Amino acid sequence: MIHYQRYTTALGEVDIAAGEDGIVALQFHNKARPLCLAADWQPGATALTDRAAQQLREYLAAKRQDFHLPLAPRGTAFQRRVWEALLAIPYGETRSYTQQAQHLGQPRAIRAVARANGANPVAVVIPCHRVIGADGSLTGYAGGLPLKAHLLTLEGARFVAPLP
């Protein structure tokens, strides 16, 4: 059984879902891209969703750099490998999609890495926002580029800001 709850943060509402094995999803509430609910998902907070929301609030207040949460995102074996590699990017640092593909030992899989990165169901905790273009520019982010820029700025990461 997966339980999900909406929480308020400094950057708006987030939907957090957790099962017995860990956090399944954490995404900023977006009417255009709602939380995908499966048949085994039930509304309601749990101790784990509450803990994830608290750690996210601490991160957004610059009081936390690392999350200490069990994670259980659902995806293909390749997606899970990509998401695991994202966890290795330190706070305040960025990597390009090319570097991530090389890190995975699949240097030609840049587009596949980008797609898996974009399918990350556990935003911020699995730091897909730390992956940027090879030229330092911001690339797509499910929460939008302004949110990605905000998260990277919060962490003190270097990137090329988009033109207004």
Q: What are the extents of the domains in the chain?
A: 2-60, 77-155
What is the pTM for the complete model shown?
A: 0.91
Q: Kindly name the residue from 56, 85, 128, 132 that is annotated as catalytic.
A: 128
Q: Give the C-alpha separation, 135 to 92, whole Å.
A: 17
CATH for 77-155? Answer: 1.10.10.10
pLDDT number for residue 159? 87
Q: How many CA atoms lie less than 13 Å away from 17 in the CB half-sphere? A: 22
Look at 58-62, 82-86, 94-98, 138-142 and tell me which has the smallest mean pLDDT: 138-142
Contact 95, 157 (CB under 8 A): no
Tens-place pLDDT, residues 108-153 = 999 999 999 999 999 999 999 999 999 999 988 888 889 999 999 9
Inform me whether the pLDDT recorded for 162 exceeds 70. Answer: no
Largest separation between any pair of C-alpha atoms in the chain:
44
Q: Give the C-alpha separation, 51 to 95, whole Å.
A: 28
pLDDT number for residue 106? 95
| Among the listed residues 68, 70, 23, 72, the one whose alpha carbon sits nearest the alpha carbon of residue 49 | 23
Tens-place pLDDT, residues 36-76 = 667 788 999 999 999 999 999 999 999 999 999 999 999 99
Report the top-level CATH class of 2-60.
Answer: alpha beta
pLDDT number for residue 35? 65
DSSP assignments along 87-113, one per residue: TTSPTT--EEHHHHHHHTT-TT-HHHH
Instruction: Match 């997606």 to its residue by tokens.
Output: 79
Q: Can 128 be counted among the known catalytic residues?
A: yes
pLDDT number for residue 160? 85
